[in-house]
Amino acid sequence: MNALPRHHHGASGVAGPLLYLRRSHAVALGEWVEIRMPDRSPWRGQVIDAGREVTVIQVLEETVGLAPAQATITLTGEEASTVVGRELLGRAFNGIGSPIDGLPAPVGEATRPIWGAPLNPVRRARPADFIETGISAIDGMNTLVRGQKLPVFSGPGLPGLELAARIVEQARAPRDEAFAVVFVGIGITARETDAFLERFDRSGARERSVLYLNQTRDPTIERLLAPRVALTQAEYLAFELGMHVLVVIADLTHYCEALREIATAREEIPGRRGYPGYMYSDLASIYERAGVLTGRLGSVTQIPILTMPDDDITHPIPDLTGYITEGQVVLSRDLHRKGVFPPVDVLPSLSRLMNAGIGEGKTRPEHRAWANQLYASYARGCEARLMAAIVGEAGLSPVDRRALAFSERFETAFVGQGERRRGIEATLESGWQLLEELPREDLTRLSDAAWAARSARATAGAAE
């Protein structure tokens, strides 16, 4: 790109967020545009369809009051970019990177295009460093590692954001390395934002974080830029300054709705439930911006949060997300009603990178077998619960009855840890205690070796 700016007097039309320009030359796809009218602050936009006959510009602010014939349109010759740098830590911006904390705009250390380029897959290093979140259902059963993208599938009214806040507050990297948080709020309410920030402040995480907040009242279309502006900053901190960056994005559901709105405005053929057919690729261009690079220090880890409409995990938003991310942490309304916090349903939850992050030298050698056994016993208990609903507990076999009792305790004592942070040792210990209440023959996933190792350690612990 990098052509000189060109000015057009008058556009041919505007419809919703789209502005149409006739007979323009040398327009570049993705080019950044400024639209001016007398006595108004300029609008910003981007070329999404460059054509000799008609060029379409997506305007990033509310287009109310835009009179196309009277506007001056400047094609800037540049692509959408944002200022990045260490200096942004501790600051708050809106979705397109303008300060909202009353301080002057940062000069930054560099300006980077927000769309990013795909990481060359051969330059990626395999994520394998355990991040201790202090949450048993995650650390023990669905371990998070550096460079992973692990979303939280929440539901309306479920504490997804609260769980994310807690992770940010509690997360410990294995070695005491430089780490930062980038938080992107997309279409979330002021109340939610405040609650989140309050936790942040309390934990002293504020100085090492950068906030990008697109609030409910902000233009929808800005929602499409917010995560990209934020990830550009995250990548800079990670890959150029060598920091370990945790990116929390809430709420992706609002992002997808904005995407649908634009697609509708462009009269595109709608895909499932009205969402555009390219939503998979679009979401991937956000989620895939997580990772670790060979020979560089830092990492980008993403925890996106989304709300499953109607608690429906097959809805296109969670569905496409699950197809891109490396697992998911699913919240359960049932557990929430029972007062379990965090209400993580471990069965549909998954961390695909867990195996690389656990075991000898990372957590404990028997971590895998331990988790397999907890899963097996809990799954059996849940199955028994369904059966008991029909035939009554008395109709269950003794093994099933034990599994049922186990699953109840697993939910309240292990998953439902409440407000306290649990280190990985405490998490494993809590799981062992539940398993030990079952007779040895019910623990078919535990080899004698794993069992012996545990018994030896338990005895040694008791002797101390």
Ligand X SMILES: Nc1ncnc2c1ncn2[C@@H]1O[C@H](COP(=O)(O)OP(=O)(O)OP(=O)(O)O)[C@@H](O)[C@H]1O
Q: Which residues bind ligand X (CB under 6 A)?
A: 322-323, 350, 352
Q: Which is nearer to another protein, 419 or 441 (CB)?
A: 441
Q: What residue has token string 């990209």?
A: 228
The Cα 376–Cα 393 span in angstroms is 20
Q: Taking the complex as a whole, how short is the minimal distance between the CB of residue 349 and ligand X, in angstroms?
A: 11
What φ, ψ does residue 258 adopt, rounded to 5°? -65, -40
* Residue (of 72, 76, 74, 75) closest to 37 by Cα position: 72
Q: How far is the CB of 118 from another protein (least distance, A)?
A: 5
Q: Minimum CB separation from ligand X for residue 326, in Å?
A: 8
d(CA 206, CA 197): 8
State the DSSP H helix or E strand holding residue 249, giving kind and residue range, or none if neither. Answer: strand 244-250
| Cα torsion angle, 160, 341, 332, 435, sign | positive
User: 28 is in the binding site of which of another protein, ligand X, none (Cβ under 5 to 8 A by kind)?
Assistant: another protein
CB 343 within 8 A of CB 331: yes
413 interacts with, out of another protein, ligand X, none, CB within 5 to 8 A per kind: none
Amino acid at 456: A
The residue range among 5-13, 198-206, 331-339, 389-397 that interacts with another protein, by the rule CB under 8 A, is 389-397
* Angle, vertex CA 348, rays to CA 342 and CA 353, nearest 5: 90
Interface with another protein by CB under 8 A: which range of 51-59, 60-68, 211-219, 427-435?
51-59
Nearest distance from residue 356's CB to ligand X, in Å?
10
> Does residue 289 sit in helix, strand or coil?
coil
Asked if residue 183 lies in contact with residue 201, where contact means CB atoms within 8 angstroms, the answer is: no
Minimum distance from residue 181 beta carbon to another protein (Å) = 21
One residue of 397, 408, 425, 456 binding another protein per CB under 8 A: 397
- Determine, following the binding rule CB under 8 A, whether residue 291 of this chain makes contact with another protein: yes
Answer for the pair 199, 163: CB distance below 8 angstroms, yes or no. no
Cβ atoms of residues 181 and 208 within 8 Å? yes
Q: Shortest distance, CB of residue 289 to another protein, whole angstroms?
A: 8
Identify the residue among 87, 101, 201, 268 touching another protein (CB under 8 A). 268
Task: Compose the 307-346 pattern: x for residues touching another protein by CB under 8 A, - for all others.
Answer: -------xxx--xx-xxx-xxx------------------
Q: Are 85 and 109 in contact (CB under 8 A)?
A: yes
How does strand 72-79 pair with strand 6-9? antiparallel
| Residue 199 touches which member of ligand X, another protein, none, C-beta under 5-8 Å by kind | none
Question: Which DSSP string corresponds to 189-205?
Answer: -HHHHHHHHHHHHHTT-
Provide CB contacts within 8 A for 125, sequence distance 6+: 147, 291, 292, 293, 294
Q: Within 10 Å of residue 426's Cβ, how many Cβ atoms?
A: 16
The option from another protein, ligand X, none interacting with 25 (CB < 5 to 8 A, set by class) reads another protein
- Residue 334 Cβ vs another protein, minimum distance, rounded to whole Å: 15
CA nearest neighbour of 302 among 231, 212, 367: 231
Q: At 423, which amino acid appears?
A: G
From residue 209 to residue 248, what is the string marking binding to another protein with x (rule CB under 8 A)? ------------------------------x---------
Q: Is 296 in the site for another protein (CB under 8 A)?
A: yes
Among 392, 461, 462, 464, binds another protein (CB under 8 A): 392
Residue 395 binds which of another protein, ligand X, none (CB < 5-8 A, kind-dependent) = another protein
Residue from 102, 104, 118, 204 in contact with another protein (CB under 8 A):
118
Judged by CB under 8 A, the chain residues 339 through 378 that form the site for another protein are 347-348, 350, 352-353, 355-356, 368, 372, 375-376
Give the residue with the Cβ less far from another protein, 214 or 328.
Answer: 328
* Binding segment (CB under 8 A) for another protein, from list 35-43, 104-112, 206-214, 381-389: 381-389
Sole binder of another protein in the list 444, 452, 455, 456 (CB under 8 A): 444
> Does position 412 bind another protein by CB under 8 A?
no
User: Residue 454 gets which letter from DSSP?
Assistant: H
- Which residues from 125-184 bind another protein, rule CB under 8 A? 125-127, 147-148
Give the CA distances from residue 172 to residues 86, 129, 421, in Å, rounded to whole numbers and listed in that order.
21, 11, 11
CB of 67 closer than 8 Å to CB of 36: no
Shortest Cβ distance from residue 153 to ligand X (Å)? 13
